[in-house]
Amino acid sequence: MDIQEATAVKAFSLRVCERIVERYPELANEVIVIIDEFYEHWSSGLKNRGKIFLKRWRSN
């Protein structure tokens, strides 16, 4: 959630969150809140990863 953190670290962390949510889908809403809150501060690559997550888990 740190805006100053390196993009690679955030991208890796988001991927880890995705893998956790695959196993524990009840945590998806927690990740969605974080994505929504910080999306505007992210790089284009991280925004793309966030969109992929939202597309998959918002509908569930």
pTM: 0.82
Alpha helices in 1-60 (DSSP H): 7-23, 28-38, 44-57
Distance separating the N- and C-terminal Cα atoms of the chain: 24
Are 30 and 58 in contact by the 8 Å Cβ rule? The answer is: no
Q: What is the pLDDT of residues 32-46, one digit of tens each?
A: 999 999 999 889 999
44-56: b (≥16 Cβ within 10 Å) or e: eebeebbeebbee
Tokens standing for 45?
A: 């690559």
Kindly tell me if the per-residue pLDDT of 1 is higher than 90.
no
What pLDDT does residue 2 have? Answer: 76
